[in-house]
Chain A
Amino acid sequence: MTYSEFLAKYSTDIWRAFFTHIELVLVSVGIGVIIAVPAGIFLSRHKGTAKYILSIAGVIQTIPGLVLLGIMLILMGIGKPPAIAALSLYAILPILRNTYTGILEVDGHCIEAARGIGMSGGQILFQVELPLAMPAIIGGLRLSTVYIISWATLAGMIGAGGLGDLIWTGLSTYETKFIVAGAVPAAVLALVANAVIGFFQHILTPRGLKLGR
């Protein structure tokens, strides 16, 4: 079977795997953001707790992706939910750490100035701290997304579908076309996501910060 025949026969499967992959990544990273950004803000107000939480999260990060997926498989069975649970856990740390350090690194003068012109705590958070920390937060989001696109290829193993499914089929039947059909789109997806989020990181950097650099 040549590559063109292969593509003609399996193109719908490849597209489906591609979109499932994107779905897994978007949902997991979305959950990660919803948990990590508020948690990062909270930790920046409670530095004592932050040390412990961040080191616990750091240890979770050293657990290989395969293991966490395996544990979720046993706890929750086969399919998308266990994969999303495992991937979301992984998505949290980079965003959490960057939100935390991003807010802490905001220049103290800016916050004082904001307080001086009579801003409330909430106003300072939303109009000063968060915009200034935005490049760091998006940086964390970028790291998370690239990681999750990578780990999501392993999710095929626990029946969640996605591009890993194709790689998996290829590896177990030793059919290189399936490997290429899964691996190349996964690689392209990761590279494109990295570039696109990098672009947004640039756009969302406040003008004042860009001038300062």
Chain B
Amino acid sequence: MSTLFSLTIEHMVLVLIAIAISAIIGVILGIICYWVLYLDKVILWVVDSLQTIPSLALLALLMIFFGLGNTTLIIGLILYSLLPIVRNTYIGLTGVPPHLKDAAKGMGMSKLQRMRKVELPLSFPLIFSGIKIATVTALSIAVIGVLIGSGGLGYPIYRGIQTMNFGAIIKGTLPVVIMAVIFDFLMSKVEYKLVKRAK
């Protein structure tokens, strides 16, 4: 039981590391999409394609370059999580009411100041909802990590499949599903509060 618990923690930590990095990269890419004309289509197409690539194929290809282990899984999860974060950042930034942007400009704010003090805070609820989608998806995809030699709950599940042990599969799966449901629930609550505050 203690091992299942530590595997659950490991699973969660791997996903959270990946999501944290992906959020930073994703928001920056989203801002670039918003600032640089024409680049928005290119960046969105690339992150969309990344998510279209089958997860096992992506992880296996990454393994060729980064070897077996947790690093490869984290890199794969980062690439996989980019789409919802970049897209929501971009949609959020373009959706900021124009009169607020004009007011900020009129107050003499620079481009960076406007981004930091007006545009990013106003689009944060939407960015957060992108991070939520990415987190729930990543929790489920991280299970495949066992096939490229990384830790987490994929291990007991895979052992269960190999030994045809129904109970072991369920025992490995329940924490994944429960974590996904809990994260979805908690982050939806935060999202609701953010949206309410923004109004």
Contact = CB atoms under 8 A, between A and B. Distances in A.
A37 interface: no
A35 B173 CA distance: 26
A82 to B, nearest CB: 11
Nearest to B153: A64
Contacts of B49: 191
Contacts of B136: 62
A160 to B, nearest CB: 13
Nearest to B168: A70
B53 A70 contact: no
B52 A190 contact: yes
A40 interface: no
Of A164, A176, A187, chain B has the most CB atoms within 10 Å of the CB of A187
A73 B161 CA distance: 8
A64 B166 contact: no
A42 to B, nearest CB: 26
A74 B166 contact: yes
B64 A179 contact: yes
B164 interface: yes
B108 to A, nearest CB: 38
A74 B169 CA distance: 10
B169 to A, nearest CB: 5
A162 to B, nearest CB: 11
Contacts of A67: 143, 157, 169, 172-173, 176
A187 B173 contact: no
Interface in A127-179: 146, 149-154, 157-158, 163-164, 167, 170-171, 176, 179
Interface residues on B, range: 20 to 34
B4 interface: no
A63 interface: yes
A150 B161 contact: no
A187 B161 CA distance: 26
B164 A191 contact: no
Contacts of B75: none
A183 B166 contact: no
A189 B144 CA distance: 20
Interface of B: 49, 52-58, 60-61, 63-64, 136, 139-141, 143-144, 147-148, 154, 157-158, 160-161, 164, 166, 169, 172-173, 176-177, 180-181
* Closest CB pairs A-B (n = 9): A183-B57, A150-B54, A70-B161, A64-B143, A153-B56, A187-B53, A186-B57, A62-B180, A67-B173
